[in-house]
Structure 1
Amino acid sequence: MGESKCFLSMHKLLETAISDYKMICPGDHVLVGLSGGKDSSMLLRLLARKKIQTTNDFRLSAVFVKMGFANDGEISGYLRRFSEENGVQYFEIEKSLEKIMAAEKKQPCYLCSRTRRLALFDLADEIGANVIAFGHHRDDFVQTFLMNLFFNGSLEAMKPVNPFFKGKYRIIRPMLYIKESSVKAEIENSGIKIFDSGCPFGKVSERAYIRSLIDDLVKHDKIAKTNIFKALYNQKPDFLLKKPSKDIL
Protein backbone atom coordinates (compact mmCIF):
# COMPACT_ATOMS: atom_id res chain seq x y z
CA MET A 1 0.00 0.00 0.00
CA GLY A 2 1.21 3.51 -0.76
CA GLU A 3 1.55 5.99 2.07
CA SER A 4 -0.50 9.15 1.62
CA LYS A 5 0.16 12.49 3.29
CA CYS A 6 -2.85 11.80 5.54
CA PHE A 7 -1.44 8.42 6.63
CA LEU A 8 1.99 9.87 7.35
CA SER A 9 0.39 12.68 9.37
CA MET A 10 -1.58 10.15 11.42
CA HIS A 11 1.54 8.06 11.95
CA LYS A 12 3.37 11.11 13.29
CA LEU A 13 0.53 11.75 15.76
CA LEU A 14 0.59 8.08 16.77
CA GLU A 15 4.32 8.29 17.45
CA THR A 16 3.80 11.45 19.51
CA ALA A 17 1.16 9.76 21.67
CA ILE A 18 3.32 6.67 22.15
CA SER A 19 6.24 8.87 23.18
CA ASP A 20 4.19 11.18 25.44
CA TYR A 21 2.74 8.28 27.43
CA LYS A 22 5.52 5.68 27.01
CA MET A 23 2.98 3.26 25.56
CA ILE A 24 5.30 0.76 23.87
CA CYS A 25 8.75 -0.30 25.08
CA PRO A 26 11.39 -2.56 23.51
CA GLY A 27 10.49 -6.21 24.09
CA ASP A 28 6.75 -5.59 24.43
CA HIS A 29 4.24 -7.90 22.76
CA VAL A 30 1.32 -5.76 21.57
CA LEU A 31 -2.08 -7.35 20.90
CA VAL A 32 -4.42 -5.22 18.76
CA GLY A 33 -8.14 -5.69 19.35
CA LEU A 34 -9.81 -5.73 15.92
CA SER A 35 -13.53 -5.20 15.28
CA GLY A 36 -13.77 -4.90 11.51
CA GLY A 37 -14.40 -1.17 11.90
CA LYS A 38 -12.25 1.61 10.50
CA ASP A 39 -10.48 2.59 13.71
CA SER A 40 -9.00 -0.73 14.79
CA SER A 41 -8.02 -1.60 11.21
CA MET A 42 -6.21 1.73 10.85
CA LEU A 43 -4.50 1.20 14.20
CA LEU A 44 -3.19 -2.16 13.01
CA ARG A 45 -1.79 -0.62 9.84
CA LEU A 46 -0.17 2.25 11.76
CA LEU A 47 1.42 -0.07 14.31
CA ALA A 48 2.59 -2.44 11.57
CA ARG A 49 4.46 0.50 10.02
CA LYS A 50 5.93 1.46 13.39
CA LYS A 51 7.12 -2.11 13.91
CA ILE A 52 9.02 -2.00 10.62
CA GLN A 53 10.47 1.44 11.43
CA THR A 54 11.68 0.42 14.88
CA THR A 55 13.55 -2.65 13.57
CA ASN A 56 11.09 -5.08 15.14
CA ASP A 57 11.91 -4.24 18.77
CA PHE A 58 8.37 -5.22 19.77
CA ARG A 59 6.04 -8.03 18.72
CA LEU A 60 2.63 -7.38 17.16
CA SER A 61 -0.43 -9.64 17.04
CA ALA A 62 -4.13 -9.06 16.32
CA VAL A 63 -7.38 -10.62 17.52
CA PHE A 64 -11.05 -10.51 16.59
CA VAL A 65 -13.67 -11.56 19.15
CA LYS A 66 -16.76 -13.06 17.54
CA MET A 67 -19.83 -12.12 19.59
CA GLY A 68 -22.37 -14.18 17.66
CA PHE A 69 -23.44 -11.48 15.20
CA ALA A 70 -24.60 -12.42 11.70
CA ASN A 71 -21.56 -11.12 9.81
CA ASP A 72 -18.85 -12.43 12.17
CA GLY A 73 -17.66 -15.00 9.64
CA GLU A 74 -17.22 -12.49 6.82
CA ILE A 75 -15.45 -10.03 9.10
CA SER A 76 -13.12 -12.70 10.47
CA GLY A 77 -12.12 -13.91 7.01
CA TYR A 78 -11.22 -10.41 5.87
CA LEU A 79 -9.35 -9.49 9.07
CA ARG A 80 -7.25 -12.64 8.82
CA ARG A 81 -6.15 -11.67 5.29
CA PHE A 82 -5.68 -8.01 6.27
CA SER A 83 -3.49 -8.96 9.26
CA GLU A 84 -1.36 -11.32 7.19
CA GLU A 85 -0.90 -8.64 4.50
CA ASN A 86 0.50 -6.38 7.22
CA GLY A 87 2.78 -9.10 8.58
CA VAL A 88 0.77 -9.56 11.77
CA GLN A 89 -0.18 -12.87 13.39
CA TYR A 90 -3.98 -13.19 13.67
CA PHE A 91 -6.15 -14.85 16.32
CA GLU A 92 -9.91 -15.14 16.80
CA ILE A 93 -12.08 -15.95 19.80
CA GLU A 94 -15.73 -17.04 19.82
CA LYS A 95 -18.25 -15.76 22.38
CA SER A 96 -22.04 -15.38 22.42
CA LEU A 97 -23.53 -12.08 23.57
CA GLU A 98 -27.01 -13.61 23.40
CA LYS A 99 -26.11 -16.30 25.95
CA ILE A 100 -24.33 -13.81 28.19
CA MET A 101 -27.35 -11.47 28.17
CA ALA A 102 -29.64 -14.36 29.07
CA ALA A 103 -27.48 -15.16 32.09
CA GLU A 104 -26.92 -11.58 33.26
CA LYS A 105 -29.60 -8.89 33.16
CA LYS A 106 -27.29 -5.97 32.52
CA GLN A 107 -26.88 -3.32 29.84
CA PRO A 108 -25.79 -5.07 26.59
CA CYS A 109 -23.04 -2.58 25.72
CA TYR A 110 -21.47 -3.13 29.14
CA LEU A 111 -21.69 -6.92 28.83
CA CYS A 112 -20.22 -6.89 25.33
CA SER A 113 -17.34 -4.62 26.31
CA ARG A 114 -16.55 -6.65 29.43
CA THR A 115 -16.70 -9.95 27.56
CA ARG A 116 -14.38 -8.74 24.80
CA ARG A 117 -11.89 -7.31 27.28
CA LEU A 118 -11.74 -10.46 29.40
CA ALA A 119 -11.28 -12.52 26.24
CA LEU A 120 -8.35 -10.31 25.25
CA PHE A 121 -6.72 -10.72 28.65
CA ASP A 122 -7.10 -14.51 28.40
CA LEU A 123 -5.51 -14.57 24.95
CA ALA A 124 -2.75 -12.18 26.02
CA ASP A 125 -1.88 -14.56 28.84
CA GLU A 126 -1.89 -17.50 26.43
CA ILE A 127 0.41 -15.93 23.80
CA GLY A 128 2.60 -13.89 26.13
CA ALA A 129 1.34 -10.44 25.16
CA ASN A 130 1.66 -7.71 27.79
CA VAL A 131 0.10 -4.76 25.91
CA ILE A 132 -3.43 -4.57 24.49
CA ALA A 133 -4.03 -1.78 21.96
CA PHE A 134 -7.44 -0.27 21.19
CA GLY A 135 -8.31 2.05 18.30
CA HIS A 136 -9.94 4.87 20.26
CA HIS A 137 -9.26 8.20 18.55
CA ARG A 138 -9.58 11.84 19.59
CA ASP A 139 -13.34 11.96 18.96
CA ASP A 140 -13.83 8.92 21.22
CA PHE A 141 -12.06 10.72 24.06
CA VAL A 142 -14.36 13.72 23.62
CA GLN A 143 -17.45 11.49 23.56
CA THR A 144 -16.38 9.56 26.66
CA PHE A 145 -15.66 12.79 28.52
CA LEU A 146 -19.15 14.12 27.79
CA MET A 147 -20.78 10.77 28.61
CA ASN A 148 -19.13 10.78 32.03
CA LEU A 149 -20.06 14.43 32.52
CA PHE A 150 -23.74 14.01 31.61
CA PHE A 151 -24.49 10.49 32.81
CA ASN A 152 -22.06 9.99 35.72
CA GLY A 153 -21.49 13.53 37.00
CA SER A 154 -17.70 13.19 36.77
CA LEU A 155 -14.89 14.94 34.90
CA GLU A 156 -13.05 12.03 33.29
CA ALA A 157 -12.33 10.55 29.88
CA MET A 158 -10.36 7.40 29.05
CA LYS A 159 -6.81 6.67 30.16
CA PRO A 160 -4.27 6.68 27.32
CA VAL A 161 -2.42 3.97 29.27
CA ASN A 162 -4.25 1.83 31.80
CA PRO A 163 -2.39 -0.88 33.78
CA PHE A 164 -4.22 -4.03 34.89
CA PHE A 165 -3.44 -6.87 37.30
CA LYS A 166 -0.67 -4.98 39.13
CA GLY A 167 0.95 -3.93 35.87
CA LYS A 168 1.07 -7.38 34.26
CA TYR A 169 -0.87 -5.95 31.31
CA ARG A 170 -1.54 -2.45 30.11
CA ILE A 171 -4.19 -1.17 27.74
CA ILE A 172 -3.01 1.56 25.39
CA ARG A 173 -4.83 3.93 23.04
CA PRO A 174 -2.17 5.18 20.59
CA MET A 175 -4.64 7.03 18.32
CA LEU A 176 -5.77 9.51 20.97
CA TYR A 177 -4.38 12.52 19.02
CA ILE A 178 -5.87 11.41 15.68
CA LYS A 179 -9.17 12.85 14.43
CA GLU A 180 -11.90 10.50 13.25
CA SER A 181 -12.16 12.53 10.04
CA SER A 182 -8.53 11.68 9.23
CA VAL A 183 -9.20 7.98 9.74
CA LYS A 184 -12.23 8.15 7.44
CA ALA A 185 -10.28 9.98 4.74
CA GLU A 186 -7.44 7.46 4.79
CA ILE A 187 -9.83 4.50 4.78
CA GLU A 188 -11.38 5.85 1.58
CA ASN A 189 -7.96 6.51 0.07
CA SER A 190 -6.46 3.12 0.98
CA GLY A 191 -9.40 0.91 0.05
CA ILE A 192 -9.39 -0.90 3.39
CA LYS A 193 -12.68 -2.73 3.75
CA ILE A 194 -14.73 -1.88 6.82
CA PHE A 195 -17.73 -3.62 8.32
CA ASP A 196 -20.71 -2.74 10.45
CA SER A 197 -20.43 -4.71 13.67
CA GLY A 198 -23.91 -6.15 13.24
CA CYS A 199 -24.72 -5.10 16.80
CA PRO A 200 -28.48 -4.42 17.18
CA PHE A 201 -27.85 -1.92 20.01
CA GLY A 202 -25.18 0.28 18.40
CA LYS A 203 -27.50 2.96 16.99
CA VAL A 204 -29.46 3.52 20.21
CA SER A 205 -26.63 3.66 22.73
CA GLU A 206 -25.70 6.57 25.00
CA ARG A 207 -22.57 7.05 22.89
CA ALA A 208 -24.67 7.40 19.73
CA TYR A 209 -26.73 10.09 21.47
CA ILE A 210 -23.61 11.99 22.56
CA ARG A 211 -22.18 11.71 19.05
CA SER A 212 -25.27 13.38 17.60
CA LEU A 213 -25.10 16.07 20.29
CA ILE A 214 -21.50 16.87 19.37
CA ASP A 215 -22.45 17.04 15.69
CA ASP A 216 -25.06 19.68 16.57
CA LEU A 217 -22.50 21.65 18.60
CA VAL A 218 -20.05 21.66 15.69
CA LYS A 219 -22.75 23.05 13.39
CA HIS A 220 -22.85 26.13 15.63
CA ASP A 221 -19.12 26.31 16.38
CA LYS A 222 -16.60 24.49 14.17
CA ILE A 223 -13.95 24.29 16.88
CA ALA A 224 -16.27 23.16 19.69
CA LYS A 225 -15.05 19.56 19.52
CA THR A 226 -11.42 20.67 19.40
CA ASN A 227 -11.94 22.84 22.47
CA ILE A 228 -13.54 19.99 24.40
CA PHE A 229 -10.52 17.81 23.66
CA LYS A 230 -8.17 20.65 24.60
CA ALA A 231 -9.94 20.91 27.96
CA LEU A 232 -8.77 17.38 28.78
CA TYR A 233 -5.18 18.60 29.10
CA ASN A 234 -5.78 22.33 29.72
CA GLN A 235 -6.99 21.71 33.26
CA LYS A 236 -7.50 24.42 35.88
CA PRO A 237 -8.36 22.62 39.14
CA ASP A 238 -8.36 25.86 41.14
CA PHE A 239 -11.50 26.91 39.27
CA LEU A 240 -13.44 23.75 40.16
CA LEU A 241 -15.31 22.99 43.38
CA LYS A 242 -14.25 20.92 46.33
CA LYS A 243 -16.55 18.10 47.39
CA PRO A 244 -19.34 19.39 49.71
CA SER A 245 -19.14 18.28 53.34
CA LYS A 246 -22.76 17.12 53.16
CA ASP A 247 -25.10 15.83 50.47
CA ILE A 248 -26.55 18.92 48.77
CA LEU A 249 -28.21 17.36 45.72
Structure 2
Amino acid sequence: MKLQQLLSYTRKALDDYQMIENGDKIAIGVSGGKDSLTLLYALSGLRRFYPKQFEIEAITVNMGFKELDFTEVANLCKELNINYTVVESDIADIVFEHRKESNPCSLCAKMRKGAFNTKAKELGCNKEAYAHHYDDVIETMMMSLIYEGRFHCFSPVTYLDRSDITLIRPLIYVEEKDIKGFRNAYRLPVVKNPCPVDGYTKREYIKQLIKTLGFESPGLRERLFHAIQSSGIDGWGKRL
Protein backbone atom coordinates (compact mmCIF):
# COMPACT_ATOMS: atom_id res chain seq x y z
CA MET A 1 0.00 0.00 0.00
CA LYS A 2 1.29 3.43 -0.97
CA LEU A 3 1.11 6.47 1.31
CA GLN A 4 -1.53 8.13 -0.88
CA GLN A 5 -3.88 5.16 -0.47
CA LEU A 6 -3.30 5.15 3.30
CA LEU A 7 -4.14 8.85 3.48
CA SER A 8 -7.29 8.30 1.41
CA TYR A 9 -8.62 5.52 3.66
CA THR A 10 -7.74 7.49 6.79
CA ARG A 11 -9.32 10.70 5.57
CA LYS A 12 -12.54 8.85 4.71
CA ALA A 13 -12.77 7.55 8.28
CA LEU A 14 -12.06 11.01 9.70
CA ASP A 15 -14.76 12.53 7.49
CA ASP A 16 -17.39 9.78 7.91
CA TYR A 17 -17.25 9.95 11.69
CA GLN A 18 -16.10 13.57 12.14
CA MET A 19 -13.12 12.48 14.21
CA ILE A 20 -11.19 15.75 14.08
CA GLU A 21 -12.16 19.36 14.76
CA ASN A 22 -10.18 22.58 14.40
CA GLY A 23 -7.65 23.04 17.18
CA ASP A 24 -7.52 19.39 18.30
CA LYS A 25 -4.34 18.13 19.91
CA ILE A 26 -4.16 14.39 19.36
CA ALA A 27 -2.06 11.91 21.31
CA ILE A 28 -1.15 8.87 19.23
CA GLY A 29 -0.55 5.68 21.18
CA VAL A 30 2.68 4.25 19.76
CA SER A 31 3.44 0.68 20.81
CA GLY A 32 6.18 0.32 18.23
CA GLY A 33 4.11 -2.15 16.22
CA LYS A 34 3.27 -1.82 12.53
CA ASP A 35 -0.25 -0.50 13.19
CA SER A 36 0.71 2.45 15.40
CA LEU A 37 3.66 3.40 13.18
CA THR A 38 1.34 3.38 10.17
CA LEU A 39 -1.04 5.65 12.08
CA LEU A 40 1.86 8.03 12.72
CA TYR A 41 2.48 8.30 9.00
CA ALA A 42 -1.25 8.73 8.24
CA LEU A 43 -1.95 11.57 10.67
CA SER A 44 1.38 13.22 9.97
CA GLY A 45 0.58 13.26 6.26
CA LEU A 46 -2.98 14.48 6.69
CA ARG A 47 -1.86 17.21 9.06
CA ARG A 48 -0.36 19.04 6.09
CA PHE A 49 -3.54 19.43 4.04
CA TYR A 50 -6.59 18.34 6.06
CA PRO A 51 -9.10 21.23 6.15
CA LYS A 52 -9.24 21.18 9.95
CA GLN A 53 -6.03 22.13 11.73
CA PHE A 54 -4.71 19.78 14.42
CA GLU A 55 -1.53 18.95 16.35
CA ILE A 56 0.02 15.56 17.10
CA GLU A 57 1.85 14.10 20.09
CA ALA A 58 3.30 10.57 19.95
CA ILE A 59 3.35 8.66 23.24
CA THR A 60 4.85 5.25 24.04
CA VAL A 61 4.15 3.52 27.33
CA ASN A 62 7.25 1.38 27.91
CA MET A 63 6.04 -1.67 29.81
CA GLY A 64 9.49 -2.28 31.27
CA PHE A 65 10.77 -5.18 29.19
CA LYS A 66 14.56 -4.71 29.21
CA GLU A 67 15.02 -5.67 25.55
CA LEU A 68 12.78 -2.88 24.22
CA ASP A 69 14.56 -0.09 22.34
CA PHE A 70 12.53 2.78 20.87
CA THR A 71 15.47 4.70 19.39
CA GLU A 72 14.39 4.12 15.79
CA VAL A 73 10.82 5.11 16.64
CA ALA A 74 12.16 8.35 18.10
CA ASN A 75 14.13 8.91 14.90
CA LEU A 76 11.00 8.39 12.78
CA CYS A 77 9.05 10.88 14.89
CA LYS A 78 11.84 13.40 14.46
CA GLU A 79 11.75 12.81 10.69
CA LEU A 80 7.98 13.35 10.67
CA ASN A 81 8.28 16.41 12.94
CA ILE A 82 6.23 14.85 15.74
CA ASN A 83 7.03 15.37 19.42
CA TYR A 84 7.73 11.97 20.99
CA THR A 85 7.41 11.01 24.67
CA VAL A 86 8.26 7.68 26.29
CA VAL A 87 6.49 6.93 29.58
CA GLU A 88 8.58 4.50 31.64
CA SER A 89 6.66 1.96 33.73
CA ASP A 90 6.94 -1.34 35.64
CA ILE A 91 3.80 -2.83 34.09
CA ALA A 92 5.52 -6.04 32.89
CA ASP A 93 7.03 -6.67 36.33
CA ILE A 94 3.71 -6.04 38.09
CA VAL A 95 1.66 -8.24 35.73
CA PHE A 96 4.03 -11.17 35.26
CA GLU A 97 6.19 -11.22 38.40
CA HIS A 98 4.19 -9.76 41.29
CA ARG A 99 0.61 -10.55 40.24
CA LYS A 100 1.49 -13.60 38.12
CA GLU A 101 -1.74 -13.13 36.17
CA SER A 102 -3.05 -16.22 34.38
CA ASN A 103 -4.96 -13.92 32.01
CA PRO A 104 -2.67 -10.88 31.93
CA CYS A 105 -4.02 -9.02 28.88
CA SER A 106 -6.89 -7.26 30.65
CA LEU A 107 -4.80 -5.88 33.54
CA CYS A 108 -1.94 -4.95 31.22
CA ALA A 109 -4.24 -3.05 28.86
CA LYS A 110 -5.89 -1.22 31.76
CA MET A 111 -2.56 -0.09 33.19
CA ARG A 112 -1.17 0.97 29.82
CA LYS A 113 -4.29 2.99 29.04
CA GLY A 114 -4.13 4.68 32.44
CA ALA A 115 -0.52 5.72 31.92
CA PHE A 116 -1.25 6.86 28.36
CA ASN A 117 -4.29 8.92 29.40
CA THR A 118 -2.35 10.63 32.19
CA LYS A 119 0.50 11.66 29.90
CA ALA A 120 -1.88 12.76 27.12
CA LYS A 121 -3.63 15.11 29.56
CA GLU A 122 -0.29 16.41 30.84
CA LEU A 123 0.66 17.29 27.26
CA GLY A 124 -2.59 19.19 26.76
CA CYS A 125 -4.24 16.71 24.40
CA ASN A 126 -8.02 16.61 24.09
CA LYS A 127 -8.06 13.53 21.86
CA GLU A 128 -6.27 10.20 21.60
CA ALA A 129 -5.82 8.08 18.47
CA TYR A 130 -5.62 4.29 18.60
CA ALA A 131 -4.41 2.24 15.63
CA HIS A 132 -7.28 -0.27 15.50
CA HIS A 133 -7.78 -1.29 11.88
CA TYR A 134 -10.45 -3.00 9.72
CA ASP A 135 -9.55 -6.50 10.92
CA ASP A 136 -9.56 -5.40 14.58
CA VAL A 137 -13.14 -4.18 14.12
CA ILE A 138 -14.32 -7.55 12.82
CA GLU A 139 -12.35 -9.58 15.35
CA THR A 140 -13.63 -7.51 18.29
CA MET A 141 -17.23 -8.04 17.19
CA MET A 142 -16.68 -11.79 16.84
CA MET A 143 -15.01 -12.00 20.26
CA SER A 144 -17.96 -10.20 21.80
CA LEU A 145 -20.42 -12.50 20.04
CA ILE A 146 -18.65 -15.74 20.93
CA TYR A 147 -17.35 -14.99 24.42
CA GLU A 148 -19.95 -12.52 25.71
CA GLY A 149 -23.08 -13.51 23.81
CA ARG A 150 -23.75 -10.03 22.42
CA PHE A 151 -23.31 -8.24 19.09
CA HIS A 152 -20.99 -5.40 20.02
CA CYS A 153 -17.82 -3.57 18.98
CA PHE A 154 -15.81 -0.51 20.02
CA SER A 155 -16.91 2.76 18.39
CA PRO A 156 -14.96 4.83 15.84
CA VAL A 157 -15.26 7.77 18.26
CA THR A 158 -15.59 7.33 22.03
CA TYR A 159 -15.78 10.02 24.71
CA LEU A 160 -13.99 8.93 27.91
CA ASP A 161 -15.79 10.85 30.62
CA ARG A 162 -13.43 9.84 33.45
CA SER A 163 -10.45 11.40 31.73
CA ASP A 164 -12.43 14.00 29.73
CA ILE A 165 -10.78 12.93 26.49
CA THR A 166 -12.12 11.66 23.15
CA LEU A 167 -10.73 8.50 21.59
CA ILE A 168 -10.65 8.15 17.80
CA ARG A 169 -9.72 5.22 15.55
CA PRO A 170 -8.66 6.62 12.15
CA LEU A 171 -7.54 3.29 10.61
CA ILE A 172 -10.87 1.45 10.71
CA TYR A 173 -11.04 1.31 6.89
CA VAL A 174 -7.45 0.04 6.49
CA GLU A 175 -6.99 -3.73 6.26
CA GLU A 176 -4.18 -5.45 8.13
CA LYS A 177 -2.70 -6.91 4.93
CA ASP A 178 -2.36 -3.36 3.55
CA ILE A 179 -0.66 -2.23 6.75
CA LYS A 180 1.82 -5.09 6.36
CA GLY A 181 2.45 -3.95 2.80
CA PHE A 182 2.96 -0.37 3.99
CA ARG A 183 5.37 -1.55 6.69
CA ASN A 184 7.47 -3.36 4.10
CA ALA A 185 7.33 -0.60 1.48
CA TYR A 186 8.33 2.17 3.92
CA ARG A 187 10.59 0.04 6.12
CA LEU A 188 8.87 0.98 9.34
CA PRO A 189 11.11 0.58 12.43
CA VAL A 190 8.90 -2.00 14.11
CA VAL A 191 9.77 -2.88 17.70
CA LYS A 192 9.03 -6.56 18.28
CA ASN A 193 6.67 -7.24 21.16
CA PRO A 194 8.50 -9.40 23.76
CA CYS A 195 5.31 -10.19 25.72
CA PRO A 196 5.35 -13.92 26.65
CA VAL A 197 1.67 -14.37 25.74
CA ASP A 198 1.89 -12.58 22.38
CA GLY A 199 0.27 -14.77 19.71
CA TYR A 200 -1.52 -17.01 22.22
CA THR A 201 -4.57 -14.89 22.96
CA LYS A 202 -8.29 -15.29 22.30
CA ARG A 203 -7.95 -12.60 19.63
CA GLU A 204 -5.41 -14.70 17.76
CA TYR A 205 -7.81 -17.64 17.87
CA ILE A 206 -10.63 -15.48 16.48
CA LYS A 207 -8.30 -14.12 13.77
CA GLN A 208 -7.58 -17.65 12.57
CA LEU A 209 -11.26 -18.63 12.82
CA ILE A 210 -12.32 -15.72 10.57
CA LYS A 211 -9.55 -16.63 8.13
CA THR A 212 -10.79 -20.23 7.95
CA LEU A 213 -14.42 -19.19 7.52
CA GLY A 214 -13.37 -16.73 4.84
CA PHE A 215 -11.87 -19.51 2.74
CA GLU A 216 -15.21 -21.34 2.86
CA SER A 217 -17.32 -18.21 2.35
CA PRO A 218 -15.60 -15.55 0.19
CA GLY A 219 -16.58 -11.99 1.08
CA LEU A 220 -17.27 -12.90 4.71
CA ARG A 221 -15.09 -10.12 6.17
CA GLU A 222 -16.78 -7.45 4.08
CA ARG A 223 -20.23 -8.70 5.13
CA LEU A 224 -19.23 -8.74 8.79
CA PHE A 225 -17.93 -5.16 8.59
CA HIS A 226 -21.11 -4.04 6.84
CA ALA A 227 -23.17 -5.77 9.54
CA ILE A 228 -21.37 -3.72 12.19
CA GLN A 229 -21.94 -0.45 10.32
CA SER A 230 -25.65 -1.13 9.77
CA SER A 231 -26.45 -2.86 13.06
CA GLY A 232 -27.21 0.16 15.20
CA ILE A 233 -24.23 -0.47 17.49
CA ASP A 234 -23.59 2.78 19.38
CA GLY A 235 -21.30 5.13 17.47
CA TRP A 236 -21.29 3.31 14.14
CA GLY A 237 -23.94 5.40 12.40
CA LYS A 238 -22.05 7.79 10.12
CA ARG A 239 -22.17 11.36 11.39
CA LEU A 240 -22.80 12.94 7.98
- TM-score, with normalisation over the residues of structure 1? 0.87
8 Å CA contact retained: 1:28, 1:129 = yes
- The structural deviation recorded for 1:166 is 6.2
2:115 paired residue number: 119
Change (3 A) 1:161 1:56: closer
2:50 paired residue number: 54
8 Å CA contact retained: 2:91, 2:112 = no
- The structural deviation recorded for 1:114 is 0.7
2:210 paired residue number: 214
**What is the aligned counterpart of 2:77 among 75, 80, 83?**
83
Change (3 A) 1:167 1:204: closer
RMSD: 1.9
**What is the aligned counterpart of 1:160 among 156, 160, 169?**
156
**What is the aligned counterpart of 2:94 among 97, 100, 113?**
100
Aligned partner of residue 230 in structure 2, secondary structure: coil
- Pair 1:7-2:3 in alignment: yes
- Work out the CA distance in 1 between the residues paired with 2:163 and 2:23: 15
Uncovered stretches (5+) of structure 2, i.e. residues with no partner: 234-240
Percent identity over the alignment?
28
What per-residue deviation string (whole Å, max 9, x for no partner) do you get for residues 41-73 of structure 1?
A: 00000000111113782110101111122432x
What per-residue deviation string (whole Å, max 9, x for no partner) do you get for residues 77-127 of structure 1?
A: 111111111110000011123433224857311111111111111101111
8 Å CA contact retained: 1:37, 1:194 = yes
Q: Which AA in structure 1 matches 2:72? A: Y
- Pair 1:19-2:15 in alignment: yes
Change (3 A) 1:45 1:94: same
- The structural deviation recorded for 1:221 is 2.4
- Pair 1:193-2:189 in alignment: yes
- Work out the CA distance in 2 between the residues paired with 1:214 and 1:161: 25
1:204 paired residue number: 200
- Work out the CA distance in 2 between the residues paired with 1:118 and 1:232: 28
**What is the aligned counterpart of 2:127 among 128, 131, 150?**
131
What per-residue deviation string (whole Å, max 9, x for no partner) do you get for residues 11-33 of structure 1?
A: 11111111111111111100000
8 Å CA contact retained: 1:138, 1:180 = yes
- The structural deviation recorded for 1:140 is 0.2
- Give aligned pairs, total: 231
Aligned partner of residue 199 in structure 2, secondary structure: helix
- The structural deviation recorded for 1:199 is 0.8
Aligned partner of residue 203 in structure 1, secondary structure: coil
- Work out the CA distance in 2 between the residues paired with 1:198 and 1:51: 32
Uncovered stretches (5+) of structure 1, i.e. residues with no partner: 238-249
Q: Which moved more, 1:23-32 or 1:97-106?
A: 97-106
1:243 paired residue number: none
1:244 paired residue number: none
Q: Which AA in structure 1 matches 2:231? A: Q
2:238 paired residue number: none
- Work out the CA distance in 2 between the residues paired with 1:145 and 1:210: 10
- TM-score, with normalisation over the residues of structure 2? 0.90
Q: Which AA in structure 2 matches 1:222? A: P
- Work out the CA distance in 2 between the residues paired with 1:40 and 1:8: 17
8 Å CA contact retained: 2:34, 2:183 = yes
8 Å CA contact retained: 1:32, 1:133 = yes
**Comparing both chains, which one has the higher relative contact order based on Cα–Cα distances under 8 Å and sequence gaps of 6 or more?**
2
8 Å CA contact retained: 1:69, 1:197 = no
